[in-house]
Amino acid sequence: MTESSLRNEIARRAPHLRVLTVGLLFGGKDLDAIVEDRRGQYLWSVYRREMNPQPPEPAVATVSGQLSMF
């Protein structure tokens, strides 16, 4: 995995996170990243494993006359 593909994965799966650094962290063999949100900073590999963020669902247009719960 390249740095740009890791950044793209983070942006796609967790757009609310800001990428602080990407590299071979803590002597690992694979690229990892330190990401941040308003609550703190996280190691991407741990965040991905624990939270399993999924890409946001695309917005679905409402049909004329359709009721919405929200």
β-pairing verdict for 32-37 and 18-23? antiparallel
- Taking the chain (70 residues) in runs of 10, the rounded mean pLDDT of each run is 94 95 90 95 94 81 68
Residue 64 placed within a domain: no
Residue 62 placed within a domain: no
Domain total of the chain: 1
Residue 28 placed within a domain: yes
Q: What is the pLDDT of residue 68?
A: 67
Q: What does the alpha-carbon distance between residue 19 and residue 34 come to, in Å, rounded to a whole number?
A: 6
Residue 56 placed within a domain: no
Which domain does 47 fall in, by range? 3-51
What's the pTM value of the predicted model, to 2 decimals?
Answer: 0.75
Q: What does the alpha-carbon distance between residue 34 and residue 47 come to, in Å, rounded to a whole number?
A: 10
